[in-house]
Structure 1
C-alpha cells in the first residue's frame, strides 16, 4: 500500500462490507458498531475506561478557590490566567481535530472512541470557562481567551501544533495522517504538562485545590487519549510497513525535540518571576523526560540522552490515573463537594 495515496473518508454504511473493518484506514466496514465484532481487541476495554472517567466541572465547589484567587501574588495570578488561556486553545482545536480524524478511521469502534474523546475535550473546555466564571469577571475572561492570539511565545508553540494538523487536513494521506498523530501526542502528552505542574504545585501549597482537582481529572482523560492515539499510530505502521522506516522515526524524534524546545521556552517565559515550589531547571528536565516518555510510547528511541527518571518526583501522586476518582485531592481534607450550577456561591 502506498502511504502517499489519497485517504478516503469512511462510508456512512456499506451493506457489502463486514462489521469488523479490514483496515484502520482505507479499509472496508459496514460502519455498524458491534462491540463484540471489532477489528481491535483493545478498543472495548478502552471505551469502558473512558466512560469510567466521566465527570463534569459542576461537581466541583469553587468557593474557596474564589477567595484564594484574589489573594494570589500578581505573578502567580498571571501564570494562572495564561495557562488557562493556553489550555482552552489546545482543547478547542483538539475537539475539531479529533472529529476530523474520526471521519477517516474505518473501524466503527475507533470512530466511537474518537467521538467519546471529542466529547471529553468539550468538557475540558467547559471546565476552563467554569473556573474563570468563578474567579474573574466577564471582561477578564474575554481577555484570557484572547491570550493565545497575542502572546508571541505562546503563539509560536501553538502554531507549531496547528500547522502539523493542517498539513494532514489539507492533503489527507496515510503518511500525513500518521504525522498528524505525532503532533497530537505532542499536544496531549507534552504541551499540557508544564501547565499541569503549575496547578499541582499550587495544590501542594494549599492553594486553588478545586481547580487542581479539575486539572487532575483532565490529566486522567489526556492520558487515555495519548494511549489511544499511540495505539492508532502503531497500527498504522503495522498496516503500512512502508511507513515503519528510519524517516518516520527521525520525524518523530525531531518533532518532539522541537516541541520540547518550544515548551521550555514557554515555561521560561511564563515563570520569569520565580514560583514558590517550582525549580525551573527541574521543570525543563521534566519536559525532556516527558518527551522521551511519549516518543517511547510511540515505539521510537528516545531523542534526549538520559532523562529516564522524573526529576519532579513530587508530581507523581497528582498525575496518578490508576486510582479512579479516589485521587490525591480526595484523600486530603479539601474543598470538594458536589454542587449545582451556582458554583457554590451560596456559601460565599
Structure 2
C-alpha cells in the first residue's frame, strides 16, 4: 500500500525553493516562477489566468423571455442538465484544493488555486442562469437532481468513490486516480450537456446561456489539459505505478464513463428534436479518445477519431482556436489582452 501523503506545510525555509517532487517531495513553499522544476507550468498558469470572466457579466435578457417559450421537454432537459453540471463543478472546486494541499511543488498549488476559483465561478453561473429564467422552487429542484435522480446517481458512483477515497487516503496512487477522473470530468462528463445548450443556440434559443456555457467549456478544456500534464509528470516521477495493471484500470474507467455518459444523454435528450443520439454517442467516444491521448495513452475507439458533430465547432471544440458567436460573430474567447493572445491581432 502506498504511504499516506502529508499535507504540505506553509513554509519550510530549510528546503529548496525548487521542489524535489510534485507530491511527497521537499520545497520551501516560496514560489519563484522563474525557477521551477517544471518551467512549462508557467505557460499553463498564464493560459488559465487569461480566462477570467464573471457570470454576472453575461446578458440574460433574451433568455429570460425565451425560457417560458421552450417546449416542456426542452425545459426539463435544461433544468436536469444544469443540475448535472452543478453536481460536478461543486465537488471539482473542493478536489482542486485537496490536490493543492498535498502538492509539494508550489507552482502546482498556485495553478490548482486558480482552477478551484474558476470552478467556483462555474457553479455560481448555474445558479445565476436559473435565477434569471425560472422560479425559486424550480431552481431548488434543479440543484436537487444530483442527490435524487437515480440515473445521475448511478452515473456519478465511480467519481464519488475515487474522490472520496483520495480525501480519506491521500496516497500517490489515489491522487493519480483522482487526476484521471478529473480529466474525465473536465473533458468528457459535461459534453452531452454542453451540446444541448449549443443545439438550442443553433436555433437562436437561450443564446445567453450558450455563451456562458462556452466560457465554462473553454475553461474546462484548459483545466483538463493541465491536469493531464500533471498526471503524466507525476507518473514519470513515480514509475512504480506505471504498470500494465494501472493502464488497464484507466482504460476501464474511460470505457465505463463513455457508457454512463451515453446512457445519460439518451435519458436526458431523447425527446429533444434535432439531436441525433447516435451522433452524440460518437461524439462522446471522440472526446474520450482526445482525453486518453492527453494522458499519454492510445485511442480506445478506433472508429471515432474524428468529430462527428461538425456543427459544434461554431462554439468551442479544442484548446487553441478562437471561436466566434454563431449568430453575432463576436469573439467568445474573452481573454485579457496580453502576450498570449497578441494585442496586434485584436
TM-score range, shorter chain: over 0.9
1:312 corresponding residue in structure 2: 309
The counterpart of 1:36, out of the listed 26, 30, 34, is: 34
Q: In the TM superposition, what whole-angstrom CA distance separates every residue of 1:238-282 from its partner, at most 9, and x where no partner exists?
A: 101111121121111000000010100101111231x23210000
CA distance in 2, matches of 1:173, 1:150: 31
What's the TM-score once normalised by structure 1's chain length? 0.92
Corresponding residue SS for 1:331: coil
CA distance in 2, matches of 1:15, 1:328: 53
- The answer to whether the 8 Å contact 2:18/2:27 transfers is yes
1:262 corresponding residue in structure 2: 260
Question: In the TM superposition, what are the counterparts of 1:1-348 in structure 2 within 5 Å?
Answer: 4-273=2-271, 275-320=272-317, 321-323=319-321, 328=326, 331=329
Distance 1:123 1:324, change over 3 A: farther
Deviation at 1:328, TM superposition (A): 4.7
Deviation at 1:316, TM superposition (A): 1.7
Cα root mean square deviation, aligned:
1.8
Q: Structure 1, unaligned stretches of length 5 or more? A: 337-348
Deviation at 1:25, TM superposition (A): 0.4
Corresponding residue SS for 1:206: coil
Corresponding residue SS for 1:21: coil
Q: In the TM superposition, what whole-angstrom CA distance separates every residue of 1:159-204 from its partner, at most 9, and x where no partner exists?
A: 2211111121222211111011111111111100000000011111
Deviation at 1:327, TM superposition (A): 5.1
CA distance in 1, matches of 2:276, 2:109: 41
Corresponding residue SS for 1:17: coil
Distance 1:267 1:248, change over 3 A: same
- The answer to whether the 8 Å contact 2:146/2:152 transfers is yes
Corresponding residue SS for 2:315: helix
CA distance in 2, matches of 1:242, 1:31: 27
- The answer to whether the 8 Å contact 1:253/1:302 transfers is no
- The answer to whether the 8 Å contact 1:263/1:287 transfers is yes
What's the TM-score once normalised by structure 2's chain length? 0.92
Q: In the TM superposition, what whole-angstrom CA distance separates every residue of 1:291-337 from its partner, at most 9, and x where no partner exists?
A: 11111110112222321111111112211453558555651699x9x
Q: Structure 2, unaligned stretches of length 5 or more? A: 335-346
CA distance in 1, matches of 2:44, 2:301: 30
CA distance in 1, matches of 2:303, 2:246: 22
